[in-house]
Amino acid sequence: MRDLAKVACLCNLRRIQRISSSLMARRISTLERSIRRLGGDLDQMLLRRGLRLHRSVPEEKLLVHRGMGPGQLEEFYRLLHRYSFRLWLRDLIKLRRGAGPGDLSSYCTPETSRRYLLTMARMGIVDVGKDGGWRLLREGVRSFGETLEWFVAEVLKREFFAQVRYGVSFRSPPPGGDFDVLASIEGSLIYVECKSSPPRGIEAEEVAGFLERCRILVPHAALFLVDTHLRMLDKIVPILEELLSSTPSSPHPEKRAVRRLQGEIFHVDHRVFVLNTGRLLSANIRACLLDFMKYTRSALAFMDRGF
């Protein structure tokens, strides 16, 4: 009798779980429909701008892949929060093969490098031989840029509850290059340009391309994000200032001034931001989004403007 009671309890538990899952699915569906009606759906925002998706970044260009299990994907995402690990991955992609973990210890100890290699081997990203030699299995990955875009998109999705697309290009208007990360947050279209190169490797043409894509996309806010701990003031900010000063005159020139928000985060009229990843990427992104909402979306924004 006791065994029968256990079976009955187990059946009831499973039935309750199925009902709960069904209710949750219906609630999510209802919320998604509500978001679309409010105009906050990302694809609808793009269609209203006449932008039709042409292609997204192919999977073979990413370090993450379908063969990774949910737990491995979660572990990889967690590791990507470490700046030293992202630097290690850049070396991994650049070298592509090596005799041992010491080849990848520019930004960490050989022991940490060995641990990273074994973790990447479990994830199917590298192959490690018995002699310690290793080679990158993701042959289509030629730079860290696409994986950085995936990571930034995941941060926006997981920590800011955003709808996201990354590594996309559009059929029309005339191509302006790939749009690294697009997000819908509280009904606002957010555009993030991601740079995996250090500031010294970024030229004026790349910043100009970012501004041109802003003109095509017409986002509510745009972030020029450089994956570094180095200063933005030394090179990136002067480039942006020069580009903005060379554009046709405006009745409000003060809105084109580049001002410091905090640390190595700068803004132009609280809508265009230049930032590094710093110690915590999500904190820097949050600072930009909060500033944007405070000065453009808040019911008390007029008080902060001095009216």
Q: 88-104 pLDDT, tens per residue?
A: 999 999 999 999 999 99
Taking residues 56-78, report their average pLDDT.
Answer: 96
- Tell me, yes or no, whether 241 and 115 share the same domain: no
Taking residues 30-49, report their average pLDDT.
Answer: 72
Task: Give bridge partners of residue 267 from the DSSP assignment.
Answer: 259, 273
**In whole angstroms, what is the distance from residue 68 CA to residue 65 CA?**
6
How many CB atoms sit inside 10 A of residue 272's CB? 23
- Tell me, yes or no, whether 187 and 216 share the same domain: yes
Taking residues 237-261, report their average pLDDT.
Answer: 82
Point out the domain boundary residue: 110, 136, 162.
136
- Tell me, yes or no, whether 113 and 219 share the same domain: no
Report yes or no on 15 lying in a domain.
no
- Tell me, yes or no, whether 175 and 241 share the same domain: yes
Residue with tokens 């379908």: 66
Report yes or no on 42 lying in a domain.
no
Q: Which two tokens stand for residue 123?
A: 């994830």
At residue 135, does pLDDT exceed 70?
yes
Tell me: the pLDDT tens digits for 169-191? 888 655 557 899 999 999 999 99
At residue 168, does pLDDT exceed 80?
yes
Point out the domain boundary residue: 118, 136, 154.
136
Contact predicate 267/261, CB 8 Å: yes
- Tell me, yes or no, whether 263 and 289 share the same domain: yes
Instruction: Please tell me the total count of domains within the chain.
Output: 2
Q: Which two tokens stand for residue 208?
A: 């100009």
Report yes or no on 45 lying in a domain.
no
- Tell me, yes or no, whether 185 and 274 share the same domain: yes
Report yes or no on 94 lying in a domain.
yes
Report yes or no on 58 lying in a domain.
no
Q: What is the pLDDT of residue 53?
A: 84
Tell me: the pLDDT tens digits for 189-238? 999 999 999 999 999 999 999 999 999 999 999 999 999 999 999 999 99
Task: For residue 211, give its domain range.
Answer: 145-304
State CA 147 to chain mean position distance.
9
Report yes or no on 23 lying in a domain.
no
Contact predicate 49/217, CB 8 Å: yes
At residue 28, does pLDDT exceed 70?
no
- Tell me, yes or no, whether 160 and 266 share the same domain: yes
Peptide linkage before 219 cis (omega within 30 of 0): no
- Tell me, yes or no, whether 164 and 116 share the same domain: no
At residue 6 the predicted structure's pLDDT band, cuts being 50, 70 and 90, is low
Point out the domain boundary residue: 106, 136, 166.
136
How many CB atoms sit inside 10 A of residue 22's CB? 10
Sign of CA dihedral 24, 30, 31, 33: positive
> What global pTM score does this model have?
0.84
**In whole angstroms, what is the distance from residue 185 CA to residue 34 CA?**
14
